[in-house]
Amino acid sequence: MRFEVPQYIEIESKIVGPLTLRQFLFLAGAGLIIFLTHFIFSGTFWFVLSLITGSIAFLFAFWKPEGQRLEKFLLVAINHFLSNRHYFWTKKEIKREIVLEKESEKEKVGEESEEIKKKKEEEKKRKYDIEAIARILDEE
C-alpha cells in the first residue's frame, strides 16, 4: 500500500489570493482602522497615523524575525524582559596542601620519563616509516 506523505507542512495555506488568512486579517484590520480614522482626523495627522498603522500591519503580516511570527517573537521578548532573573555566585574555597615527595616517588617519576622517551622515539620511527612509504608511492 502506498501512502501519500504531506509535503510542506510548515507552510500556511493561501486563503485570499497570495495571502494567508492571518496576513489578510492583519491587512484588512489596518485598512479598517485607516478608513475609520479618516472620518475622525483629517489632514497631515491622519496621513501620519495611517502610515504608522499600515507599517505595523505590514510588519505583523509579512516579517518573520528569527523564523517566527512577529507576534510570537514580541510575546517571548516581553516575557523575557519582564521575568525575574536571579544570578547567584558563591566563591569556592581552594584548599592547598603541601605534599613532600619521598625518594621512591622520585624514582617512579624517573622511570616514567624513560618510558615516555621510548614511546616518543617509537612514534618518530613510525612517522619516518610512513613518510618513506609515501615517497615510494609518489615515485611510482
Asked if residue 115 is part of any domain, the answer here is yes
- Same domain, residue pair 55 and 18: yes
Residue-level pLDDT at 58: 95
Residue-level pLDDT at 56: 95
Q: Which residues contact 13 (CB under 8 A, 6 or more apart)?
A: 20
Residue-level pLDDT at 49: 95
Asked if residue 87 is part of any domain, the answer here is no
Residue-level pLDDT at 112: 64
Asked if residue 55 is part of any domain, the answer here is yes
User: Are 14 and 23 in contact, with CB atoms under 8 Å apart?
Assistant: no
pTM, 2 dp = 0.52
The domain of 70 spans 14-82
Residue-level pLDDT at 57: 96
* Domain count across the chain: 2
- Same domain, residue pair 71 and 130: no
Last residue of a domain, one of 62, 82, 102: 82
13-to-6, 7, 9, 41 alpha-carbon distances in Å: 13, 12, 9, 37
Neighbour-count burial for 27-60, b at 16+ CB within 10 Å, e otherwise: beebeebbeeeeeeeeeeeeeebbeebeeebeeb
19-20 and 14-16 as β-strands: parallel, antiparallel, unpaired?
A: antiparallel
**Cα atoms in the Cβ-side hemisphere of radius 13 Å centred on 32:** 6
Asked if residue 105 is part of any domain, the answer here is no
pLDDT means per 10 residues in the chain (140 residues)?
76 81 93 94 92 95 89 92 81 73 55 76 79 76
> Which helix (H) or strand (E) covers residue 16, if one does?
strand 14-16
Residue-level pLDDT at 104: 54
